[in-house]
C-alpha cells in the first residue's frame, strides 16, 4: 500500500519589502529560530496565504523568499520599497565591503534588537 500525503495549497497573498539594513527569514515564528536566509533592505518578500488567509503567529508572518518558506517579524516589512541606507549612501555602503558573514551577524543583531518605548518615567 502506498501512503499519500495531502499538502495544504499555499499561494502568494501580496508582495512586501524588507525595511531594515539586514535581517533573516526564520524556520519558525521566533527570533531565536534557525535562519534560512539573510536578506537586506528593499528585498521583495512574498507573503504566503492558505485557504484565503495569511499565515501568522504572533507578530510573525509566513513568507516565501527565493526557495525558502519561513517566517519574518512584520515590523520589518513595508508595503512599498523604502529608501534604504545602501541607496542613500551607495559609495559609503560599498566601501564597507561586507561579506555574507557580516550581513548574517548584522541581521542577527536586528533580530535581537527590541523595539518599543521605555517603561521608565521621563525625568529619571
pLDDT digits (tens, 9 = 90+) for 30-70: 999 999 999 999 999 999 998 888 999 999 999 999 999 99
Dist. CA 41–CA 46, nearest whole Å: 15
Phi (first) and psi of residue 15, to 5 degrees: -110, 130
What's the pLDDT score for residue 103? Answer: 86
CA 119 – CA 124 distance, rounded (Å): 11
Confidence of residue 26 (pLDDT cuts 50, 70, 90): very high
**Looking at domain 10-112, which of 2.60.120.10, 1.10.3470.10, 2.30.30.40, 1.20.1250.20 is its CATH number?**
2.30.30.40
Alpha-helical (H) ranges within 8-88 are 85-88
Cell of 68: 525558502
- Is the pLDDT at 72 greater than 90, yes or no? yes
Residue 6 has pLDDT above 60, yes or no: no
Tell me the per-residue pLDDT of 98-109, one tens digit each, with 9 for 90 and over.
898 988 888 888
In sequence order, what are the residues at sequence separation of 6 or more whose Cβ sits closer than 8 angstroms to the Cβ of residue 67?
none
Domain ranges of the chain: 10-112
Amino acid at each position: 500500500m502506498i501512503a499519500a500525503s495531502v499538502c495544504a495549497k499555499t499561494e502568494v497573498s501580496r508582495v512586501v519589502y524588507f525595511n531594515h539594513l539586514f535581517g533573516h527569514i526564520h524556520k519558525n515564528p521566533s527570533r531565536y529560530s534557525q535562519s534560512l536566509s539573510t536578506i537586506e533592505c528593499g528585498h521583495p518578500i512574498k507573503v504566503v496565504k492558505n485557504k484565503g488567509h495569511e499565515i501568522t503567529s504572533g507578530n510573525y508572518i509566513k513568507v516565501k523568499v527565493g526557495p525558502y518558506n519561513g517566517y519574518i517579524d512584520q515590523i520589518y516589512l513595508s508595503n512599498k520599497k523604502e529608501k534604504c541606507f545602501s541607496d542613500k549612501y551607495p559609495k559609503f555602503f560599498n566601501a564597507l565591503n561586507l561579506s555574507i558573514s557580516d550581513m548574517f551577524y548584522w541581521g542577527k543583531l536586528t533580530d535581537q534588537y527590541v523595539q518599543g518605548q521605555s517603561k521608565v518615567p521621563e525625568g529619571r
